[in-house]
Structure 1
Amino acid sequence: MATNMSKKRKFVADGVFFVELNELLTQELAEEGYAGVEVRVTPLRTEIIISATRPQNVLGEKGQRIRELTSVVQKRFSFPDDAVELYAERVSKRGLCAQTQAESLKYKLLGGLAVRRACYGVLRFIMESGAKGAEVIVAGKVWG
Structure 2
Amino acid sequence: MSLNVLGEKGRRIRELTAVVQKRFGFPEGSVELYAEKVATRGLCAIAQAESLRYKLLGGLAVRRACYGVLRFIMESGAKGCEVVVSGKLRGQRAKSMKFVDGLMIHSGDPVNYYVDTAVRHVLLRQGVLGIKVKIMLPWDPTGKIGPKKPLPDHVSIVEPKDEILPTTPISEQKGGKPEPPAMPQPVPTA
Question: Which TM-score band (shorter chain)?
Answer: 0.5 to 0.7
- Matching residue's letter, 1:81: E
CA deviations on 1:55-79 (whole Å, 9 max, x unpaired) are 2210100111011111111111111
The 3-state SS of whatever aligns with 1:106 is helix
Q: What is the TM-score with the length of structure 2 in the denominator?
A: 0.46
**Alpha-carbon RMSD:** 1.4
TM-superposed CA distance for 1:140, in Å, is 1.4
- Matching residue's letter, 2:28: D
Pairing 1:86–2:33 present: yes
Aligned to 2:58: 111
- Matching residue's letter, 1:135: E
| Unmatched segments (≥5 aa) in structure 1 | 1-53
- Structure having the higher helix fraction is 1
Pairing 1:63–2:10 present: yes
Pairing 1:127–2:74 present: yes
Task: Tell me how many residue pairs correspond in the alignment.
Answer: 91
CA deviations on 1:12-69 (whole Å, 9 max, x unpaired) are xxxxxxxxxxxxxxxxxxxxxxxxxxxxxxxxxxxxxxxxxx2221010011101111
Q: Is the 8 A contact 1:95 1:101 kept in 2?
A: yes
Distance (whole Å) between structure 2 residues aligned to residue 75 and residue 133 of structure 1? 41
Distance (whole Å) between structure 2 residues aligned to residue 130 and residue 55 of structure 1? 23
Identity %: 78
Q: Is the 8 A contact 1:114 1:143 kept in 2?
A: no
Which ranges of 4 or more aligned residues in structure 1 deviate by more than 4 Å? none
Structure with higher Rg: it is: 2
Aligned to 1:96: 43
Distance (whole Å) between structure 2 residues aligned to residue 75 and residue 98 of structure 1? 29
| Unmatched segments (≥5 aa) in structure 2 | 92-190
